[in-house]
Amino acid sequence: MKLTGAEIFVECLKREGVKTLFALPGGVVLKIFDILYQQKELDVILTRHEQGAGHMAEGYAKATGRPGVALVTSGPGMSNVVTALVDAYMDSVPLVCFSGQVSTSMIGNDAFQEADNIGLSRPCTKYNFLVKDVNDLAVTIKEAFYIATTGRPGPVLVDIPKDVSMNKADFTYPGSVSIRGYNPTYDGNKWQIKQAAEAIAKAKKPVLYIGGGVVFSGASEEVRELAEMCQIPVDMTLMALGAFPGEHPLSMGMMGMHGTYWANMAVHYSDLVIAVGARFDDRVTGKVSEFCPYAKIIHIDIDPTSIKKNLHVDIPIVGDCKRVLRELIQVLKATVNGDQKDLRKPWWDQINEWQRAHPLAYDQDPKGPIKPQHAIKRLYELTKDRDPIVSTDVGQHQMWSAQYFKLPSPRRWLTSGGLGTMGFGFPAAMGAQAAFPDKLVLCVAGDGSVQMNMQEMATAVAHKLPVKVIIINNRFHGMVRQWQDLFYDGRYSSSDLGTTPDFVKLAEAYGAVGLRAQKISEFDAVIKEAITIDGPVIVDVPVYPYENCYPMIPAGGCNHEMILADPPELKKKISDKVTPEDKDTVVTA
Amino acid sequence: MEHIISVTVENKFGVLSRVAGLFSGRGFNIESLSVAPTLDPTMSMMTIVTSGDDRIIEQIVKQLNKLIDVIKVVDLNETEFVERETALIKVHTKPEDRAEALRITDIFRANVIDSTPSTYTIEVTGDIKKVEAMINLLQPLGIKELIRTGRVAIARESIRPALAQPKRVAKE
């Protein structure tokens, strides 16, 4: 039987097991939306902006491990989703994005709402397709899902011209595809793995440095087994949080620019760094020439281009983290017999000393304004028994969340790491909520970044996605202000937001619930109330605006040279400042 | 250091821009690039002349391999290879220079492929040193126009591994 391209599209999605589609219609995709209207299996979530659709698909993918799927129209629809594609590409999120295109006969004519979707998405997708013939549609969609989800995952764009969605073709869905130029390596080189095992057995001061690859590969159990067997401290990148239990005695928390003191000291003074599914990003390494100067480096990654991209690696192993670690554990079991407690004791004594010397700290005056760290720490403590999924936007609140949320398992942490996309958090949380309707999904946001995709509150209300948005409201672009305080002599150029909306009223205007925790004494009760409400909630938390996020390694600085608190002259300057005036939001303190 | 990289790619639209985009996006340098279909019409062969230290060349090779439309990448500098380039050179020839132009053409075993009363168009093929030497010699006569193909290179037979890649197949 012949089906139209639009029908083939819907059939293919069903065969791929897609349940939820984040979408926004437009002229050239109307035929597809018409078919979507006539079926019940796919849940279509209509977003208010295509960027929201892209981030929702990302949140869905990060929380489930399955590809997120978005559908947008040509021209502006496509260009609006580009930010989400770039974000997904940087953070290796499996995403399949379908864009509409003008009819094949019109392509290149500067037609209405035409854009070069392939050209726009080329540098920000793992691969992209323009489907010129309806007969190629099914196999193209199969290939798109295959490429997005295998190897190092990433976003794939499929551009579907209007006539392709209208024309008819015989429908057969291929069971599998193989592409001759695309053969990811999954099994690590056995000889290299043996070298790695020998290095681990000999090391006195090893550190595991795990990244997002551990989450994608599902290698959490293996990391845990390796760490416990060999008593190795585990440093996590921003992307890896939750891949190793945050409260585990071997967990060092986050490393890097705003990582913990002990995580950064450990990696700096270690004699063996075991990097797993991480890519030596500059926010982790600091000054790359002085990153772990005393260490041998083992690097396990599925993407060969990640290895030796930024620095020299002694033992490179290309392969899937889970499979390589499994193999490595087998080798180690046979050679070291597990117990290395005695060998590692001096190393752990040193680490414990670092931990005692500079724990994460802040001063909370019980009568003063709420400190952002306090809000985030309490939020964690009040919700941890519900095992929430936590998303964040980008900025100070993101780093504090990374420091204080000690997540127990992977796929609980949704954040924009590589690209640092403000406005990511709220739609990503909604995507996760769409996948897990009964789970508590929190979005920790800043008052600056949440406004970048605020319009999606309408989507949350319409589709009953009960995300709880906690706005750490300091009326600044806080991280920008922090840098201006530290490096630009306190000149707050365009970081003072001047006025922010009344988020309680804003929530109510959208038909959601708005709450505010004005004083420290109210905070716990407000959070407890928020998480019992059956629907989307905004909790506005006005906080002390001049708080800075520490530890901090200045950009290009060395990992053991952290700033641990406001320098004295800055402290004095800030203490002279009064809280900024704000006509619309209630002023703190 | 200069490297000649031979890249087998899918012969379909957009592949050249993916390769070019990779070089520009990551700040790699392309000195010359030539592309044409292979014996198998579904594949094309690109010869890319680039330069960089070992670390950059390693990244270039890895990044090229990562492109889905790239089937095979060979850094020819790791093997023995032969290279050729063709140049078409249009030289001004005053009556007294015409004999000199023909002598130079002869010395380089080049050919005159077009002639007018005041110009010769000369075709020369050879490695880059030969082509450049000829250009230098013709320069005093006055070069009106010059066009070069960019280099192509091929590994010497004994070392070249066989091209055996599975074809793209769609199973039911």
Assess if residue A325 is contained within a domain: yes
Q: Which of B59, B71, B171 sits opposite A181 (nearest CB)?
A: B71
The H or E element that residue A13 is part of is: helix A5-15
Same domain, B98 and B43: no
Residue B120 maps to a domain: yes
Domain assignment present for residue A200? The answer is: yes
Last residue of some domain: B34, B52, B79? B79
CA angle B17, B22, B28 (to 5 degrees): 125
Q: What are the chain A neighbours of B165 within 8 Å (beta carbons)?
A: 180
Q: Is residue A31 assigned to a domain?
A: yes
Q: Are B62 and A304 an interchain contact pair (Cβ–Cβ within 8 Å)?
A: yes
Domain CATH number, residue B14: 3.30.70.260
Residues B7 and B65 grouped into a single domain: yes
- pLDDT of A474 > 50? The answer is yes
The pLDDT, as a whole number, for residue A24 is 98
In a domain, A296, yes or no: yes
CATH number, domain of B148, equals 3.30.70.1150
Residue B68, helix vs strand vs coil: coil
For A255: left if phi > 0, alpha if psi spans -120 to 50, otherwise beta; the answer is: beta
Domain membership flag for residue B101: yes
- Same domain assignment for residues B140 and B118: yes
In chain A, whose CA is at the least distance from the CA of B11?
A181
Same domain, B63 and B86: no
Is residue A424 within 8 A of residue A416, CB to CB? The reply is yes
Same domain, A410 and A531: yes
Mutate to test the interface with A, among B26, B44, B65, B168 (most CBs of A within 10 A): B168
Q: Is the peptide bond before B161 cis (omega within 30 degrees of 0)?
A: no
Q: Let me know whether A562 and A425 are in one domain.
A: yes
Range of the domain at B105: 82-153
Q: Does one domain contain both A310 and A204?
A: yes
Pairing status of strand B32-37 against strand A537-542? unpaired
Are both A296 and A444 inside the same structural domain?
Answer: no
Alpha-carbon span A552 to A487, nearest angstrom:
13
Q: Give Cα separations from A299 to A103, A296, A315, A321, A553 (angstroms).
A: 47, 10, 6, 10, 23
Helix H, strand E, coil C: the string for A15-61 is HCCCCEEEECCCHHHHHHHHHHHCCCCCEEEECCCHHHHHHHHHHHH
CB distance B71 to B8 below 8 Å:
yes
Q: What are phi and psi of A219, to 5 degrees?
A: -100, 15
Question: Has residue B129 been placed in a domain?
Answer: yes
User: What residues make up the domain containing A308?
Assistant: 190-357
- How many residue pairs from chains A and B have C-beta atoms closer than 8 A? 55
CA-CA-CA-CA dihedral for B22, B26, B29, B34, to nearest 10: 0
Query: A468-473 and A537-542 as β-strands: parallel, antiparallel, unpaired?
Result: parallel
Question: Do A452 and A353 reside in the same domain of the chain?
Answer: no
- Cβ contacts (< 8 Å) between B9 and chain A: which residues? 181
Q: Chain A contact for B164, CB < 8 A?
A: no
Buried b (16+ CB within 10 A) or exposed e, A360-381: eebebeeeebbbbbbbbbbbbe
Task: Find the range with the poorest average confidence among A62-66, A247-251, A305-309, A530-534.
Answer: A305-309
Rg (C-alpha) for chain A, rounded Å, is: 25
pLDDT of A581 strictly over 70: no
Query: Is B137 part of a structural domain of the chain?
Result: yes
Q: Flag whether A588 is in a domain.
A: no
Q: Do B122 and B143 fall into the same domain?
A: yes
Residues B135 and B148 in one domain: yes
CA-based radius of gyration for chain B: 20
End-to-end CA distance of chain B: 48
Q: Do A92 and A153 touch, CB atoms closer than 8 A?
A: yes
pLDDT at res. A341 = 77
Q: Mark yes or no for CB contact A177/B172 under 8 Å.
A: no
Task: Show which residues of A are catalytic.
Answer: 50, 112-113, 162, 479
Does A581 map to a domain? Answer: no
Q: What does the alpha-carbon distance between residue A364 and residue A520 come to, in Å, rounded to a whole number?
A: 9
Q: Which of residues 513-542 of A touch B (CB under 8 A)?
A: none
Question: Do residues A166 and A282 share a domain?
Answer: no
CA distance A295 to A223: 20
Please indicate, yes or no, whether residues B58 and B97 belong to a single structural domain of this protein: no
Which residues numbered 107-126 in A keep a CB inside 8 Å of some CB on B?
A: 118-119, 122-123, 126
Shared domain check, A94 and A239: no
Cβ within 8 Å, pair A305-B9: no
Residues A339-364 have a mean pLDDT of 92
Minimal-distance CA residue of chain B relative to A181: B71
The verdict on a CB contact (< 8 Å) between A174 and B172 is: yes
Chain mean pLDDT for chain A: 95
Instruction: Work out how many domains chain A is built from and give that number.
Output: 3
- Whether B50 and B99 map to the same domain: the answer is no
- A313 to chain B: nearest residue by CA? B55
Q: Which residues pair with A530 in a beta bridge?
A: none
Q: Which residues of A touch B21 (CB under 8 A)?
A: 122-123
Question: Is A541 in the same domain as A440?
Answer: yes
Using CB atoms, pick whichever of A122, A139, A303 lies closest to residue B21: A122
The CATH number of the domain holding residue A257 is 3.40.50.1220
Tell me: pLDDT of A354 over 70.
yes
User: Residues A506, A553: one domain?
Assistant: yes
pLDDT attached to residue B163: 57
pLDDT in tens, B50-59: 999 999 999 9
d(CA B8, CA B19): 11
pLDDT of residue B170: 54
Residue A252 Cα, gap to closest chain B Cα (Å): 32
A342 and A430 within one domain: no
Whether residue A587 lies inside any domain: the answer is no
Three-class secondary structure of residue A470 per DSSP = strand
Q: Say yes or no to pLDDT of A538 above 50.
A: yes
Best mutation target among A128, A149, A179 (most B Cβ atoms within 10 Å) is A179
- Judge: A180–B168 Cβ closer than 8 Å, yes or no: yes
Q: Verify that B123 and B143 share a domain, yes or no.
A: yes
Q: Is residue A547 part of a domain?
A: yes
- Per the CB < 8 Å rule, is B9 touching A181? yes
Q: Is residue B160 part of a domain?
A: no
CATH number at residue A454: 3.40.50.970
Given CA atoms A16, A21, A27, A31 in this order, what sign does their dihedral have?
positive
Mean residue pLDDT of chain B comes to 91
Residues 178-207 of A with CB under 8 A from B: 178-182
Q: Which residue is associated with the tokens 């800075």?
A: A548
Within-domain flag for B36: yes
Contact between chains at B171 and A179 (C-beta distance less than 8 A): no
Residues B138 and B72 in one domain: no
Residues B38 and B94 in one domain: no
User: Predicted confidence band at A589 (pLDDT cuts at 50, 70, 90)?
Assistant: very low
State the ipTM, two decimals.
0.89
What is the distance between the alpha carbons of residues A300 and A288, in angstroms, rounded to a whole number?
18
Is A174 in contact with B25 (Cβ distance < 8 A)? no
Tell me what pLDDT residue A555 has: 87
Helix segments in A245-340, DSSP class H: 261-269, 282-285, 321-336
Distances (CA, A) of B160 to B44, B75, B84: 17, 11, 17
Is B59 part of the contact surface with chain A (CB cutoff 8 Å)?
yes
A253 Rama sector, left if φ>0, alpha if ψ -120 to 50, beta otherwise: left
**Local confidence band at A584 (pLDDT 50, 70, 90 cut-offs):** very low
Q: Residue B168 and residue A179: Cβ atoms within 8 Å?
A: yes
pTM: 0.93
Domain boundary among A297, A328, A357: A357
- Indicate if the pLDDT at residue A588 is higher than 50: no
* B17, B56: one domain: yes
Question: Quick check: A568 contacting B, CB < 8 Å?
Answer: no
Judge if A83 and A148 occupy the same domain: yes
Give the domain-ending residue among B60, B79, B98: B79
B contacts of A142 (beta carbons < 8 Å): 170
Tell if the CB–CB gap between A181 and B171 is shorter than 8 Å. no
Separation CA B60–CA B6 (nearest Å):
12
**Cα–Cα distance for residue pair A99/A117, rounded to 1 Å:** 8
How many structural domains does chain B have?
Answer: 2
Q: What is the dihedral of CA A111, A114, A120, A126, to 10 degrees?
A: -120
Parallel, antiparallel or unpaired: strands B111-116 and B152-155: unpaired
Kindly state whether residue B166 falls inside one of the protein's structural domains: no
- Pick among B13, B42, B58, B66 to test the A interface (most A CBs inside 10 A): B66
Using a CB-CB cut-off of 8 Å, the residues of chain A touching B7 are: none
Rounded to whole angstroms, how far apart are CA atoms A44 and A46?
6
Mean pLDDT for the stretch of residues A499-514? 96
Kindly state whether residue B161 falls inside one of the protein's structural domains: no
Q: Could you tell me the CA-to-CA distances from A53 to A256, A286, A408, B142 in Å, in that order?
A: 30, 34, 28, 62
Q: CA-nearest residue of chain B to A116?
A: B14
Please provide the size of chain A in residues: 589
For B18, name the nearest residue in chain A, comparing CA atoms only: A122
With CB atoms and an 8 Å threshold, state whether A305 touches B59. Answer: yes
Report percent pLDDT > 70 for chain A. 97
Looking at the structure, do residues A229 and A253 belong to the same domain, yes or no?
Answer: yes
What is residue A460's three-state secondary structure?
helix
Q: Give the sign of the dihedral formed by CA A392, CA A59, CA B67, CA A312.
A: positive
Dihedral sign computed on CA atoms, order A429, A434, A436, A439: positive
